[in-house]
């Protein structure tokens, strides 16, 4: 397999790359047939093995029980996990978002209760953000929490909750001050076990072949200690949580590159009607276009890593990386359809499928990447207004 | 020594700022069209730039290298300045250490005379022409060569060898014709009939590498031109009022500008990454250079969106934007352009046909 050359991220990162590869060879034995593993699947046993190795806290500060690795090392780790196509759905939420946010905003009791369990891979989270009338405009959320003595009582509905059917806890955004102005000043974050009475999880099938959930909250009673970061301080917590996702950008690029590498490998090895696919001028042109785009995505991710290390990454820089990479993921899959034909559109366990269904998986998941975490339209507006200074 | 270890980011910023400041004083972009026809201004500005350090870029063992050259090419793109920096970088790369041409090289580095580079059979554009050697003379036609009034020497690649032919342009057997088009000043076609030349043998890979350096220089200049036009339109959106509000408040335009910003960042990062690898003497610089040139295709969209956003104001030849639009499209088409770079990437990943 000929790949685009790698970058020199320093001796520590290179050593970690070798360590991760060796560890994966011992600890991840994917099946070689049928539908390929999808990286957002939940595999609790694998998550616990990662926890035992200390890698769920790979980027957390040492005083919080983590390894305090640099952004470059975290990037290398994310790249290797993506290339190995391991299931990270059981821990990615706590590793990249909930854990760092709790370190920043949690009480000592919360840290003592949650962080050791996170590090062992023994407690998973989903996110309760979007609602029927609050998607991109998250500040308009209506799920409300009303104080009742020392407790809070929560009522409302959340939508499109990934891992809602599997997670142990939900990281829930609810309105605790209905009169707050601006609207986002009246939101709080609650950490709630998903088996709390009054929570009703209804899974439905998403385009990418995995479920997401509608979750109903009907007089769900939780103690005050379930609030993270203080009452009405949820917007700050949410923004911190989004910023914590920065290393995920490197992982997203590695996922795209992983599919691209498999595509070029297939093209090199395949002939149709006695003619090598690799000798087709149209295919070569489109491979060249994708290769250049992947190099751009890698460079944008590298910039994010560098800026993250120096604490200088802006919302606009993160948005640029997210927009380009997520839309590249769509282009890659559609180009693969054009090159490979209908066999690439078959399900992963169909008899004649190419690349074990990863192209269809890639395309449908790429849509999720474009519309999730702040749609790309929201991101472009952020680039224009916050990055370029155009008027609001 | 590793160039990157010797040059700090602060030093690079200072270099860029000094060049940008010098150009702003001596070659403001809004006067570029007039200045390009002013022999005195061209001579004075180029020799001034050489005195500031441009003349020694690429000299063997010098601390500064391709990274700084691309920075300056970007500045030339911004200023619509046609100076032969990459040509001189190639002269420095090949001629340094060749005793017979040391005096000439000194004059080139001082900016007293100007070089021009032509890749001939290595160009990638089938209409770029080629040279053939016969003893110490060369014959053939070369197209799309950038000449300025003080351009006295042509550096042309010759397939036989490969070799680099050093040709004095003022001699019998050399005819030059302008071929006006998008590029300004106009390209020229050079017809050589048994013209005298000094021929310098090159290592096997060197001809391709010199052409790749030239091509990435063109991409950097295009990036500078696209960046300058983008900044102009960004300012325009803040002040131009339509429908009772600044144009920049309209989401349709904000998103066009956001797309352009993404394209510019991608082009800039990939170009300088390739230069870093070159300066670190890594063989991988070639594939990164091809990727950067291929990625520069997005600059065309930046140039188009700039024109669309300006509307009729930017459609006027009195405006600065049209010269940047032409520069982007001319430079991205040179030497096989984007399509050739894509094929190079395909060859790297899929093998040759």
Tens-digit pLDDT string for chain A (392 aa):
778 998 888 899 999 999 999 999 999 988 877 888 888 889 999 999 999 999 999 989 999 999 999 888 988 998 899 889 899 999 999 998 999 999 999 999 999 999 999 999 999 999 999 999 998 889 999 999 999 999 999 999 999 999 999 999 999 999 999 999 999 999 999 999 999 999 999 999 999 888 999 999 999 999 999 999 999 999 999 988 776 665 677 788 999 999 999 999 999 999 999 999 999 999 999 999 999 999 999 999 989 878 877 777 788 998 999 999 999 999 999 999 999 999 999 988 899 899 999 999 999 999 999 998 889 999 999 999 999 999 99
Q: Determine the Cα–Cα distance for residues A333 and A260; give it in Å rounded to an integer.
A: 9
**Whether residues B215 and B155 fall in one domain:** no
Mapped onto helix, strand or coil, the DSSP state of residue B177 is: strand
- In order, the DSSP letters of A48-99 are HHHHHHT-TTTTS-GGGTS----HHHHHHHHHHHHHTT---TTTHHIIIIIH
- Phi and psi at B161, nearest 5°, equal 140, -80
Beta carbons of B266 and A384 less than 8 Å apart: no
Q: Does B233 lie at the interface with A, CB-CB under 8 angstroms?
A: no
**Whether residues B262 and B128 fall in one domain:** no
Write out the residue range of the structural domain in which residue B166 sits: 114-201
Site of tokens 């995920």: A248
Q: Are A291 and B293 in contact (CB under 8 A)?
A: no
Is A245 considered catalytic here?
yes
Q: Are B224 and B77 in contact (CB under 8 A)?
A: yes
Q: Determine the Cα–Cα distance for residues A357 and A36; give it in Å rounded to an integer.
A: 7
**Whether residues B166 and B236 fall in one domain:** no
**Whether residues B275 and B339 fall in one domain:** yes
Chain B CA closest to residue A261:
B349
Chain A CA closest to residue B262:
A320
pLDDT of the residue at B3: 36
Q: Are A178 and A139 in contact (CB under 8 A)?
A: no
* Region(s) of chain A under CATH 1.10.540.10: 11-120
Beta carbons of A2 and B257 less than 8 Å apart: no
pLDDT in tens, B57-116: 876 555 558 999 999 999 999 999 999 999 999 999 899 888 889 899 999 999 999 999
Of A292, A296, A377, the CB nearest to B345: A292
**Whether residues B214 and B338 fall in one domain:** yes
* Region(s) of chain A under CATH 1.20.140.10: 245-387
Q: Does A10 lie at the interface with B, CB-CB under 8 angstroms?
A: no
Domain ends where: B89, B110, B131? B110
Which one of A299, A303, A312, A316 would you mutate to disrupt binding with B, by most B Cβ within 10 Å of its Cβ?
A299
**Whether residues B94 and B128 fall in one domain:** no
Domain count, chain B: 3
**Whether residues B260 and B178 fall in one domain:** no
* Domain A125-232 part of CATH 1.10.569.10: no
Beta carbons of A291 and B346 less than 8 Å apart: yes
Domain ends where: B75, B110, B145? B110
User: Is the preceding peptide bond at B162 cis, omega within 30 degrees of 0?
Assistant: yes
Q: DSSP letter at A134?
A: B
Q: What are the residue ranges of helices labelled H in B146-279?
A: 206-239, 251-279
**At the topology level of CATH, where does A245-387 sit?**
Butyryl-CoA Dehydrogenase, subunit A; domain 3 (1.20.140)
Domain boundaries A11-120, corresponding CATH code = 1.10.540.10
Q: Are B102 and B60 in contact (CB under 8 A)?
A: no
Structure tokens at A148: 């009742």
Per-residue model confidence as pLDDT tens for chain B (353 residues): 333 345 788 888 998 999 999 999 999 988 888 898 899 999 999 999 999 888 888 765 555 589 999 999 999 999 999 999 999 999 998 998 888 898 999 999 999 999 999 999 999 999 999 999 999 999 999 999 999 988 999 999 998 889 999 999 999 999 999 999 999 889 999 999 999 999 999 998 999 999 999 999 999 999 999 999 999 999 999 999 999 999 999 999 999 999 999 999 999 999 999 999 999 889 999 999 999 999 999 999 999 999 999 999 999 998 999 999 999 999 999 999 999 999 999 999 999 98
Beta carbons of A278 and B350 less than 8 Å apart: yes
Structure tokens at B265: 């960042």
Q: Are A316 and A300 in contact (CB under 8 A)?
A: no
Which residue among the candidates A19, A41, A245, A327 is catalytic per the annotation?
Answer: A245
Q: Measured between alpha carbons, how far apart are the two ends of chain A, in Å? A: 48
pTM: 0.93
Domain with residue B192: its CATH number is 2.40.110.10
Domain ends where: B60, B89, B110? B110
Residues of chain B positioned with their CB less than 8 A from the CB of A387: 258, 261
**Whether residues B142 and B230 fall in one domain:** no
* Region(s) of chain A under CATH 2.40.110.10: 125-232
């Amino acid at each position: 397999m000929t790949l685009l050359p790698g970058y020199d991220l320093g001796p520590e990162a290179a050593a970690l790359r070798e360590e991760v590869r060796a560890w994966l060879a011992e600890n991840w034995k994917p099946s070689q047939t049928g539908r390929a593993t999808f990286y957002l699947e939940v595999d609790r046993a694998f998550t616990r093995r990662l926890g035992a190795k200390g890698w769920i806290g790979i980027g957390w500060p040492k005083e919080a029980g983590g390894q305090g690795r640099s952004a470059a090392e975290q990037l290398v780790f994310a790249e290797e996990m993506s290339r190995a196509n391991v299931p990270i759905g059981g821990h990615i939420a706590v590793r990249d978002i909930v854990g760092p946010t709790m370190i920043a905003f949690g009480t000592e009791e919360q840290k003592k209760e949650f962080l050791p369990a996170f590090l062992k891979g023994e407690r998973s989270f989903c996110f309760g953000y979007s609602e029927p009338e609050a998607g991109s405009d998250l500040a308009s959320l209506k799920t409300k929490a009303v104080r009742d003595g020392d407790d809070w009582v929560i009522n409302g509905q959340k939508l499109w909750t990934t891992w809602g059917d599997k997670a142990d806890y939900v990281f829930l955004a609810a309105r605790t001050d209905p009169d707050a102005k601006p609207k986002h000043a009246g939101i709080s974050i609650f950490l709630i076990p998903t088996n709390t009475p009054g929570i009703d999880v209804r899974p439905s099938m998403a385009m990418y072949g995995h479920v997401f959930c509608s979750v109903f909250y009907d007089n769900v009673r939780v103690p005050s200690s379930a609030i993270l970061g203080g009452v009405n301080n949820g917007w700050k917590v949410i923004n911190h949580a989004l910023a914590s996702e920065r290393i995920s950008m490197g992982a997203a690029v590695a996922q795209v590159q992983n599919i691209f590498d498999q595509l070029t490998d297939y093209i090199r090895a395949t002939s149709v009607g006695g003619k090598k696919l690799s000798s087709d001028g149209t295919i070569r042109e489109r491979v060249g276009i994708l290769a250049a785009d992947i190099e751009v995505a890698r460079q944008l991710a590298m910039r994010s890593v560098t800026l993250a290390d120096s604490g200088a990454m802006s919302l606009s820089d993160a948005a640029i990386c997210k927009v380009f990479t997520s839309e590249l993921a769509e282009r890659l899959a559609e180009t693969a359809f054009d090159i490979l034909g209908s066999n690439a559109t078959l399900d992963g366990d169909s008899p004649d499928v190419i690349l074990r269904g990863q192209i269809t998986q890639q395309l449908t998941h790429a849509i999720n990447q474009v519309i999730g975490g702040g749609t790309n339209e929201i991101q472009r507006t952020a680039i224009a207004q916050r990055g370029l200074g155009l008027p609001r | 020594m590793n160039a990157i270890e010797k040059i700090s980011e602060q030093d690079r910023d200072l270099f860029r700022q000094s060049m940008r400041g010098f150009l702003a004083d001596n070659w403001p972009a809004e006067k570029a069209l007039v200045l390009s026809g002013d022999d005195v201004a061209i001579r004075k500005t180029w020799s001034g730039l050489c005195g500031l350090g441009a003349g020694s870029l690429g000299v063997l063992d010098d601390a500064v290298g391709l990274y700084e050259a691309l920075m300056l090419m970007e500045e030339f793109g911004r200023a619509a300045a046609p100076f032969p920096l990459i040509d001189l970088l190639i002269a420095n790369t090949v001629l340094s250490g060749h005793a017979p041409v040391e005096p000439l090289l000194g004059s080139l580095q001082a900016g007293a005379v100007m070089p021009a580079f032509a890749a001939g059979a290595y160009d990638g554009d089938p209409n770029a022409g080629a040279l053939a050697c016969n003893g110490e003379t060369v014959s053939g036609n070369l197209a799309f060569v950038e000449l300025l009034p003080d351009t006295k020497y042509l550096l042309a690649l010759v397939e036989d060898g490969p070799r680099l032919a050093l040709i004095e342009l003022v001699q019998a057997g050399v005819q030059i014709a302008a071929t006006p088009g998008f590029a300004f000043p106009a390209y020229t076609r050079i017809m050589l009939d048994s013209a005298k030349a000094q021929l310098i043998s090159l290592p096997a890979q060197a001809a391709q590498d010199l052409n790749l350096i030239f091509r990435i220089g063109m991409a950097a200049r295009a990036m500078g031109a696209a960046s300058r036009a983008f900044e102009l339109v960004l300012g325009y959106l803040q002040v131009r009022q339509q429908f009772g509000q600044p144009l920049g408040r309209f989401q349709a335009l904000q998103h066009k500008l956001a797309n352009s910003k993404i394209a510019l960042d991608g082009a800039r990062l990939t170009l300088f990454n390739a230069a870093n690898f070159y300066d670190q003497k890594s063989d991988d610089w070639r594939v990164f250079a091809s990727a950067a040139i291929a990625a520069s295709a997005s600059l065309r969209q930046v140039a188009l969106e700039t024109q669309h956003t300006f509307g009729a104001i930017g459609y006027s030849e009195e405006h600065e934007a049209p010269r940047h639009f032409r520069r982007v499209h001319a430079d991205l088409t040179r030497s096989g352009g984007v399509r050739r770079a894509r094929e190079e990437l395909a060859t790297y990943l899929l093998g040759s046909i």
